[in-house]
Structure 1
Amino acid sequence: MAPAALEDFETQRLHGEELSTAPVAYTPSAAFKSKQQQGKPDAVSLSHHFSNESRDFEGSPLKKTALNRTDFVPLGTGRPTAELYPWSLDDKQAQATATALSAKGYNLTTALNYGHAGGTPFLIRYLTEHVELVHNPPYRNWETCLTAGSTSAMEIALRIFGDRGDVVLTEEFTYPGFLEAVHLSGMKAKGVKMDDGGLREDSLAEILDNWNTSDGPKPKLLYTIPTGQNPTGYTQSLERRKAIYRIADRHDLIVIEDDPYYYIKAGPLAESDASAQTDGGGFISQLIPSYLSLDTSGRVIRLDSTAKILAPGLRAGWVTASERVISKFMAYHEVTTVAVSGMSQLMLYDLLDRTWGHEGFFRWLEKLSGRYRKRRDIIVGACQKYLPRAACDFIPPSYGMFVWIRFDMALHPQLRELLGSPDVQMLRTTVATVEQRILQDALQNGVQVTKGSLFRSSGGEAHEMFFRLTFAAAREDELAEGVRLFAEVVRKEFLADAVGL
């Protein structure tokens, strides 16, 4: 059966039931999927991987007493009535806002109250349709719910599946927030080797095929940032994703697909025409397939976020996984974040559904990618112009917002003699000193960069040194100058001008 198209969802909405606007209204994704999903197989059960903490945890008993109805006198719940809010709906400005952000009763009154842990039905409907249009998961019983951003979601995923002493697999360089969450949960991170194409499938297979249980239970979680990876900017090819997924399936491994840069597609340098645009659907069809779109067994937990594509202050995202896993996420939301801010949900619904629709959102993502593409080209051109290329190299990213600079420490005056030394600790200490000095001197010179050691998961060569540059935060007209200031420090550190680098 052909995948669902936009008109399928438009017809479905036209004939669907009106959504509830009760304060704790919730409707699961199943109600908003197309008929094309019905013939797919179910996901495998991951319950045997649930942690000791989460196995019997089903959420807050108090939250479950809330009713998705309004036909009663509510004396049983500590949920203030709208009459007690400091924003009066009689006030002209508040009334104008309420009118602008409303849809058949979904307005400020609803948004300012406690909401359901999974999200308002108005936004869940849109996101369910979005997930099906973009990823079309190959199994039937997938679900989507809101999260308070990906950092919160990844911490909850660790609590659902991880126990103290477990080993979690990650790329050898990865997001430090995840590493901190792993360590604070009493678990250990083990890095999987990378190359310019991201996480290496041969390294993953070697670790799992030869796992020694004296090092702890065999890993059951793989955390990966497959697209525009943070910090390296590397993107896994479709062939590599398929190979990694086959390994995960063979070893019963759960894949946490953290993909905040998925929609920031800069493309190869040869395709740097920021003015060339297709319709929104054409842009989506050009994106590399996600792990979720390859997931025939339901072992992928996909994390999406509004932070990089809309605004980080919204603190909102969504997670897609099998329905049993999503029920666990909502259970943890009830006793942690409770729900995504009602105002964030109302703003997102008004922008994504009422204003843009799916095609408008896709067009925005394409436009945003074009703007990042221009920034990428500026910073890559400046790196090629100013950095001593004999001492460092980099791969222009095709997705995301990062450039990962790898340094050849054999060319550093302090490291030349140490590289052949058996004193590995001395080598590591010297590299760390050089790295810190470059960081401080760069800031003194007027530019902020990030040292690569902050992202190291585990292991790694003692002589390696990296720096991460981002082209997201600075003004467009500052990017080249920032690279030039950084390059001045690097050239001085490596005595580049004196030795002709």
Structure 2
Amino acid sequence: MDCLTVDDVVSLRAASEPVRVGIATYTSSDSFKSQHCNKKPHSKSMIHQLSIEASNFGGSALKKTAKRHFKSRLIPLGIGRPIDEFYPWESFTLEESFTLPQSSHAGATRVELNSSVNTIAKRDGLFNLSSGLNYCHSVGQQPLLRFITEHVEIIHNPPYRDWSVCLTCGSTSAFEIVLRMFCNRGAAVFTEEYTYPGFISSTLLLGLHTVGIRMDDDGLITEELARTLRTWDDSKGSRPRFLYTIPSGQNPTGATQSPERKKAIYQIAEEYDLIIIEDDPYYFLRTKHSHQTVPNPDAIDSYISNLPPTFLSLDRSGRVVRLDSTSKILAPGLRAGWVTSSNEIIEKFISYQEVGPLSTSGPTQLMLWNLLDAKWGHRGFFTWLEHLSRQYRSRLDIVLESCDKYLPKDVCQWSRPHNGMFLWIHIAVEKHPELRSQGESVCDKSGVDFKTGEVEARVWSRACENGVQVTMGSLFEATKSCASRVSFRLTYAAADEIELDEGVKRFANAVRKEFGLEQFGTGLS
């Protein structure tokens, strides 16, 4: 096979090693990849990029003993893992809220399509409470890791053979580990000029600082990244060796990098030997216009084929560390995701996870395996993702229509995001009557514009007074600068759908009042 497809999974599993579920059973993605991976070249070593801390750290000696395999069962007198008779639960009963439409494809791996309720027993079944509620090897439980490994190969098909997956406790935990692996204290890290505040906070905690690269509607501007690398002033410290990017539905701007933009960024990474963190939680939330308005299980192949290439799918060297998350596509409280990179990088990641969060929560892994593999299968999972995209697309349409109705277009600018859950509203603060009369603005020593900062704060405060919550754009700045525009991030994911129009109206009235413009009447019936 040239690449793994959804319908190849049944035959792949039949030819693979059987899943072994036990207490903290060691496993790896190598057990679940297709033979096609063996035809590819090896990745390059990135060991020279490791931080001093990571270079000197080998993980838990105790955890490494779990990698040994024995032909017969050992009586477990050596490790402090309580037997399942001490668990106060006999079973879990799970009921899903999304019923899959019937499909004409015979290759789906889901079961019991006619039932939405499933019970996970203490000891019976492939993956049960006995193993799920005990300690787990940091890479993840075998049945779930198998599904995620297949998913990664179906979607990304990394161009080198020695790649692996490790389950995580969500992307925040994962990128904190990766930062420690590759960055020494005092180092600089490249990001988009606006980026996720959680990442900025993690860099500060680790004694790092971010260098924001200018963006346009397609995300990070390639020429700006190349220019910054080419003209880097060594008096500011060593040139950054690390790029953190959110390429799809970027948080907060909603920008999505085109395939051409990703290829150009990757070429720069190759030239300057950069490590790329591809944090991509919004990749599957496609909000571009679509003619399909109802679920169609037989159109899932089209959905998959129209997904754009990722940095992982372009990565020939093994310099990309891709982070996926269940937070935006299933539920944030699961605190789960997965990281994909070369075996060398994943082994080091596992070493850190062994002495930190240890592993993804056992009940979470049980829930994910039961839903994704036992109930839905790969085709069902993609059916859900396509359904979710349609829901977000519908909500975005409402918000965009409301923006057209209520926001003053000579003051506010926005564009339709192609992915994700955020709409980025630019406000031309230079058109504010107070600033027009007082002339040029003045920045303080930190680069914060007093006047634009005041306007941003007042609009935010007025919005809260109006009964709507939005997020100030300055909270996302990677590098503080004097800006002539104020920005706000709106999300169409959190409010009830019937509240979206009213929420935009209330925000628009906050802007209009600040700029001395006529306001609209408000009120939800």
Q: Is TM-score (shorter-chain normalized) higher than 0.5?
A: yes
- Asked whether 1:169 is paired with 2:200, we answer no
CA distance, structure 2, for counterparts of residue 11 and residue 171 of structure 1:
42
Q: TM-score, normalised by structure 1?
A: 0.94
State the 1:427 CA deviation.
7.6
Pick one of 294, 299, 307 that aligns with 1:275: 294
Alignment of 1:454-465 (within 5 A): 454-465=475-486
CA distance, structure 2, for counterparts of residue 415 and residue 492 of structure 1:
15
Alignment of 1:37-48 (within 5 A): 37-48=37-48
Write out per-residue CA displacement over residues 375-394 of structure 1, whole angstroms, 9 at most, x where no aligned residue: 01000110111001100100
State the 1:472 CA deviation.
0.2
Q: Which residue of 2 aligns with 1:444?
A: 465
CA distance, structure 2, for counterparts of residue 155 and residue 424 of structure 1:
31
Conserved? CA contact 2:210–2:478, under 8 Å: yes
Conserved? CA contact 2:429–2:455, under 8 Å: no
State the 1:10 CA deviation.
1.3
CA distance, structure 2, for counterparts of residue 392 and residue 493 of structure 1:
13
Q: In structure 2, give the amino acid aligned to 1:22.
A: G
Q: In structure 1, give the amino acid aligned to 2:250.
A: Q
- Asked whether 1:472 is paired with 2:474, we answer no
Q: CA distance change for structure 1 residues 118 and 478 in 2, over 3 Å: closer, same or farther?
A: same
State the 1:18 CA deviation.
2.1
Write out per-residue CA displacement over residues 206-260 of structure 1, whole angstroms, 9 at most, x where no aligned residue: 0111112111111111000000000000101011111111001100001100000
SS in 1 for 2:54: coil
- Asked whether 1:52 is paired with 2:71, we answer no
State the 1:101 CA deviation.
9.9
CA distance, structure 1, for counterparts of residue 379 and residue 145 of structure 2:
17
Q: In structure 2, give the amino acid aligned to 1:413.
A: P
Conserved? CA contact 2:232–2:239, under 8 Å: yes
Write out per-residue CA displacement over residues 70-120 of structure 1, whole angstroms, 9 at most, x where no aligned residue: 71221211111111112246x999xx833499633x201111001010001
CA distance, structure 2, for counterparts of residue 319 and residue 127 of structure 1:
10
Percent identical: 49
State the 1:275 CA deviation.
2.6
Q: Which residue of 1 aligns with 2:166?
A: 145
Conserved? CA contact 2:123–2:130, under 8 Å: no
Pick one of 355, 371, 388 that aligns with 1:335: 355
CA distance, structure 1, for counterparts of residue 124 and residue 140 of structure 2:
16
- Asked whether 1:297 is paired with 2:344, we answer no
Q: Which residue of 2 aligns with 1:379?
A: 399
Q: Which residue of 1 aligns with 2:261?
A: 240
Write out per-residue CA displacement over residues 302-332 of structure 1, whole angstroms, 9 at most, x where no aligned residue: 0000000011111100000000100111111
State the 1:56 CA deviation.
2.6
Q: Which residue of 1 aligns with 2:108?
A: none
Q: CA distance change for structure 1 residues 490 and 49 in 2, over 3 Å: closer, same or farther?
A: same
Conserved? CA contact 1:153–1:319, under 8 Å: yes
Q: In structure 2, give the amino acid aligned to 1:338.
A: L
CA distance, structure 2, for counterparts of residue 419 and residue 458 of structure 1:
25
Write out per-residue CA displacement over residues 409-448 of structure 1, whole angstroms, 9 at most, x where no aligned residue: 1111222244535666798112112211211221111101
Pick one of 392, 409, 412 that aligns with 1:389: 409
Q: Which residue of 2 aligns with 1:315?
A: 335
Give the stretch that moved more between structures: 17-26 or 230-239.
17-26
State the 1:139 CA deviation.
0.8
Conserved? CA contact 2:269–2:275, under 8 Å: yes
- Asked whether 1:98 is paired with 2:98, we answer no
Q: TM-score, normalised by structure 2?
A: 0.90
Q: Which residue of 2 aligns with 1:77?
A: 79
Conserved? CA contact 1:139–1:296, under 8 Å: yes
- Asked whether 1:497 is paired with 2:499, we answer no
Conserved? CA contact 2:448–2:480, under 8 Å: no
Q: Which residue of 2 aligns with 1:120?
A: 141
CA distance, structure 2, for counterparts of residue 204 and residue 459 of structure 1:
17
Conserved? CA contact 1:274–1:374, under 8 Å: no
Q: Any gaps of 5 or more consecutive residues in structure 2?
A: 95-117, 520-525
Conserved? CA contact 2:442–2:450, under 8 Å: no
Give the stretch that moved more between structures: 340-349 or 273-282.
273-282
CA distance, structure 1, for counterparts of residue 49 and residue 125 of structure 2:
41
Q: Any gaps of 5 or more consecutive residues in structure 1?
A: none
CA distance, structure 2, for counterparts of residue 414 and residue 187 of structure 1:
38
Q: Which residue of 2 aligns with 1:258?
A: 279
CA distance, structure 2, for counterparts of residue 92 and residue 453 of structure 1:
45
Conserved? CA contact 1:172–1:459, under 8 Å: no
